[in-house]
Chains A and B, each alone.
Chain A
Amino acid sequence: METEIIEKIRENLIQGRKSEEDEGIDETLNGTPGVIELTEEALEKGVSPKEIISLAITPGMEAVGEKYDSGEYFIPDMLASAQAAGAAMEILKPHLEKARIASKGRVAVATVKDDIHDIGKNIVVILLKGAGYDVDDLGIDVSTEKIVEEVKTRGIEYLGLSALLTSTMTRMKEVIEALDKAGLKGKVRVLIGGAAVSQEYADEIGADAYCADGFQAISAIGALKQQ
């Protein structure tokens, strides 16, 4: 019984069906419970949040990643699955806190001052949420002061910065310098991404990682954790 519902959650996650109303790929699932309803049901039945994460959500997202890599899935498919995973995590959050299971980490993501591009940033937010991180989306056109302030007050461990314009990428350097000044060096790790920047630029300004896409954000944070 337990394994059956775990399997259902995983399958619906792979299908990108957040809730009952969503269409996945397999049309026969239309109208049946989605990840949200199934997760609630599983909790009612006494399945532990830990099991839901380790047996349904994590392997489900891994399967989605493989499908994306092989070309079977496209970004919209992956985002639908990640949103479903994020929704499940929201439901599990209070239970995890009760069971004193820490989230994977606190992340904030922002598009820097004077830059309004946010499609890429939004993808990163959705994927990181889907991967089980606690993510604050600080929005677009966010000033350096505001970013530092938020990092401080929210206890952010990983800060993602996005810049698509060569005229705004210099803000990233500003943010890193301001974080240093605020005594946050080493306490928060900085990841950067967006069309304007590169690995060389990350090295130049002392960012901890450059990510060419949202998946690299997940692996980069994973790698930084190991350090």
Chain B
Amino acid sequence: MAREGLLVIRPLERLATKDLNHIHQASLDILSEIGINCHNRDAVEAFAGAGAGASPVGDEISNIKIPPKLVLKAIENAPKEIVLGARDPANQLILHGDRTRVYLASGSESNIWLDTSFRPFINKNDPDEEVKLPSFNPRRGTVADLAFSAHLAQSLDTLDAFIRPVNIQDKDINNHNKDVNKFFCCLNNTSKHVMAGLTSLEQLQNVIAMAEIVAGGQQALQNNPIISFITCLVKSPLQMVDDTTQTLIRICLEGLPVVISSSPQAGTTAPPSEAGIVSQINAEVLAGITLTQIINPGTPVIYGSVPVRARLDNLNDAYGAPESTAYNIDCVQMARYYGLPCYSTAGVSDAPIPGLQSAVERLFSSLLVALSGPQYLHCAFGLLDGNSTFSPLQAVMDDTHFKMLRQFLKPADIDPENLEAVYRKIADTVQTSQKLFINDIRPLMRKGKLSKPYIFEDRQGNDSVLCKANQELERLMTLPGCHLPEEIIEKVYERIPGILPRLDTRKSN
């Protein structure tokens, strides 16, 4: 049993097949003629051993020219179907490169956690008139916040998988204990799939050992990979960085699912034209995928694309720009062209707080990119200000918006039998005096098949969306936690060094 996700029956396409062919060829030319500058020695050796050209271009940097046949072979070897496991088997995800079932995931790793409180304001001219307005308090994220966001993710219905949305910055977190605490916070608070980047390679073994304890052993973890990794090994344009590449190589050898992600900015680290950024990012991702298949053929690798346009006032990522949405859809199509499962991005807003800008920007990209049918969509639950801020309040609203999309994606009920029945219904109803279809809608209503009015609507003529969403957030906060069984937690604390004692939920279980 896997999660249902969103089934997109007729995916939105931006590029025609001939465009996809052109991009594909352009990327192969980039890889075989311009090549990738690789800063990692093991990767250089692996590429060279597999028949790529390697020539030194500087201190510990080699230019790798990857022949097309090597790339094509890697695409062929890479699995077309990837299972992302979960603590609760009902939360498993099956990503199939040719099918457009979309799973929604949170992310990314924002430094700032945004608390919201509501304060009453009284009209000076009419003291009886009082409104509640939100005030926002940004602060640095902590392990407690991460645990809470995982708890929240557990209760948000449309969220299929969990990527940590907040960077843990407690005083007692350092590079040596960050990864184990990060993964433990996630695994101990949600039974959905957990994906994250690794801060320090030295922690990989501990993280995997923890996942094995939770999954029930080494083989159990292979069958049900409850964790997976994101690796941003490419620094655009066309550079493979040392440390993350090393991390990727190690993950490949472990056989766990991994996302190869690249995030060029059109206008700074990639050409500003659509053809330019898309052929470049496609080349970068293919280079990473090729490496995974050289290191360990059959590695479950996901085509990860986070192309964005540069914001021209500060050169940060312009997620709200419509161009970013266009590039993302192009990449979704490229992944599908290869039949590879795709990790895509949408829903990030440039607005620093929840509100109209954030609603408009996130819906714009979320709807369009989701409809293009990526298998795994990092749809930015709660993220604001690029990727810099996470607001749990925003995450609650995002869930409602995706419920609307889920309703919309229900398949249309058009078949001859049904049409025959409705024909008769129409014929009958026009004969009646009131000419209403009330009796037909009532059973649908009872069975919960109809959408409800926007759940944070205020019929008093005010815009109370934030306030009502906050009430919902408060309700969700009080729901019981979905923690690991006590004996598992005990084993984790016993065998995995560095996990902070305050994350132990056994006392409160």
Q: Say whether A associates with B.
A: yes
A-B contacts, CB under 8 A, total: 29
Measured between beta carbons, the chain B residues less than 8 angstroms from A116 are 235, 241
- Could you tell me if A119 and B269 are in contact, using CB atoms closer than 8 angstroms? yes
Measured between beta carbons, the chain A residues less than 8 angstroms from B167 are 166
Measured between beta carbons, the chain A residues less than 8 angstroms from B312 are 74-76
Tell me the minimal C-beta distance from A3 to chain B in angstroms: 34
Tell me the minimal C-beta distance from B198 to chain A in angstroms: 11
Chain B: CB-nearest residue to A76: B312
Interface membership of A167, Cβ < 8 A:
yes
Contact of B175 among A76, A167, A195 (CB under 8 A): A167
Interface membership of A91, Cβ < 8 A:
no
Measured between beta carbons, the chain B residues less than 8 angstroms from A213 are 314
A119-B235 contact in complex given A166-B111, A166-B169, A167-B178, C-beta closer than 8 Å: no
A195-B243 contact in complex given A75-B312, A75-B313, A119-B269, C-beta closer than 8 Å: no
Interface membership of A114, Cβ < 8 A:
yes
Give the interface size class of chain A.
Answer: 10 to 19
* C-alpha spacing A72/B243, complex, angstroms: 41
* C-alpha spacing A167/B182, complex, angstroms: 14
- Could you tell me if B388 and A195 are in contact, using CB atoms closer than 8 angstroms? yes
* C-alpha spacing A213/B235, complex, angstroms: 22
A196-B111 contact in complex given A166-B167, A167-B199, C-beta closer than 8 Å: yes
List B297-325 residues whose CB lies under 8 Å from chain A. 312-315
Tell me the minimal C-beta distance from A81 to chain B in angstroms: 14
A119-B175 contact in complex given A75-B312, A166-B167, C-beta closer than 8 Å: no
* Chain B 257-277 interface mask (CB, 8 Å, partner A; 1/0): 000000001011100000000
* Chain A 175-194 interface mask (CB, 8 Å, partner B; 1/0): 00000000000000000000
Tell me the minimal C-beta distance from B39 to chain A in angstroms: 9
Chain B: CB-nearest residue to A117: B235
Interface membership of A123, Cβ < 8 A:
yes
Question: How many B residues touch A, CB cutoff 8 Å?
Answer: 19
Measured between beta carbons, the chain B residues less than 8 angstroms from A196 are 111
* Chain B 162-192 interface mask (CB, 8 Å, partner A; 1/0): 0000010100000100100000000000000
A75-B314 contact in complex given A116-B241, A166-B167, C-beta closer than 8 Å: yes
- Could you tell me if B243 and A114 are in contact, using CB atoms closer than 8 angstroms? yes
List A35-77 residues whose CB lies under 8 Å from chain B. 71, 74-76
* C-alpha spacing A81/B493, complex, angstroms: 57
List A74-130 residues whose CB lies under 8 Å from chain B. 74-76, 114, 116, 119-120, 123
Chain B: CB-nearest residue to A169: B169
- Could you tell me if B269 and A74 are in contact, using CB atoms closer than 8 angstroms? no
Measured between beta carbons, the chain A residues less than 8 angstroms from B175 are 167
* C-alpha spacing A22/B461, complex, angstroms: 56
Measured between beta carbons, the chain B residues less than 8 angstroms from A167 are 175, 178, 199
Measured between beta carbons, the chain B residues less than 8 angstroms from A141 are 242
- Could you tell me if B313 and A74 are in contact, using CB atoms closer than 8 angstroms? yes
Measured between beta carbons, the chain A residues less than 8 angstroms from B265 are 119
- Could you tell me if A76 and B111 are in contact, using CB atoms closer than 8 angstroms? no
- Could you tell me if A119 and B315 are in contact, using CB atoms closer than 8 angstroms? yes
* C-alpha spacing A215/B171, complex, angstroms: 31
* C-alpha spacing A123/B388, complex, angstroms: 21
* C-alpha spacing A123/B310, complex, angstroms: 14
Chain A: CB-nearest residue to B232: A116
Measured between beta carbons, the chain B residues less than 8 angstroms from A71 are 313
* C-alpha spacing A179/B241, complex, angstroms: 28
Extra inter-chain contacts (4) besides given A119-B268, A166-B167, A167-B178, CB under 8 Å: A116-B235, A119-B315, A166-B111, A195-B388
A-B contact pairs, 15 of them (CB 8 A): A71-B313, A75-B312, A75-B313, A76-B267, A76-B312, A116-B235, A119-B265, A119-B315, A123-B315, A166-B111, A166-B167, A167-B178, A195-B111, A195-B388, A196-B111
**Interface residues of A, Cβ cutoff 8 Å to B:** 71, 74-76, 114, 116, 119-120, 123, 141, 166-167, 195-196, 213
